[in-house]
Amino acid sequence: MSSEKTLVVFARTKPASTQGFLDLVAGLAKSSRAEAGCVEYKVYRDAGDPATIVFYERWRDQAALEAHAATPAFQDFLRLKDGFLAEDVKITFVDAV
């Protein structure tokens, strides 16, 4: 069994705030991809609902995910994200099959 941690995050923005959220996310994504424990970090926009942003993240292990959560970039994101969102984010941890 792999110790890798993979998660999918769904964020629904207020329609007028989508671009601002994407600008915020661009900085977080760049910083996250540079982290030693990041295996993959992608951000998508739902093709049928442009206000829904989907994050696909793969981390080497739980320690790498915890280190990511403690970074200044992620802490800034947590502090700022609610001003852009229409509802709470939904986080799902997934395993490869």
Going along the chain from its start, the domains and CATH numbers come out as: 5-94 (3.30.70.100)
**Do residues 88 and 9 lie in contact, with contact meaning Cβ atoms separated by under 8 Å?**
no
User: Could you tell me the pTM of the whole model?
Assistant: 0.94
pLDDT tens for the chain, residues 1 to 97: 579 999 999 999 998 999 999 999 999 999 999 999 999 999 999 999 999 999 999 999 999 999 999 999 999 999 999 999 999 999 999 998 8
Q: For the sheet containing 38-45, what is the strand order?
A: 38-45, 52-59, 5-12, 90-94
Q: Which tokens is 61 given?
A: 């292990």
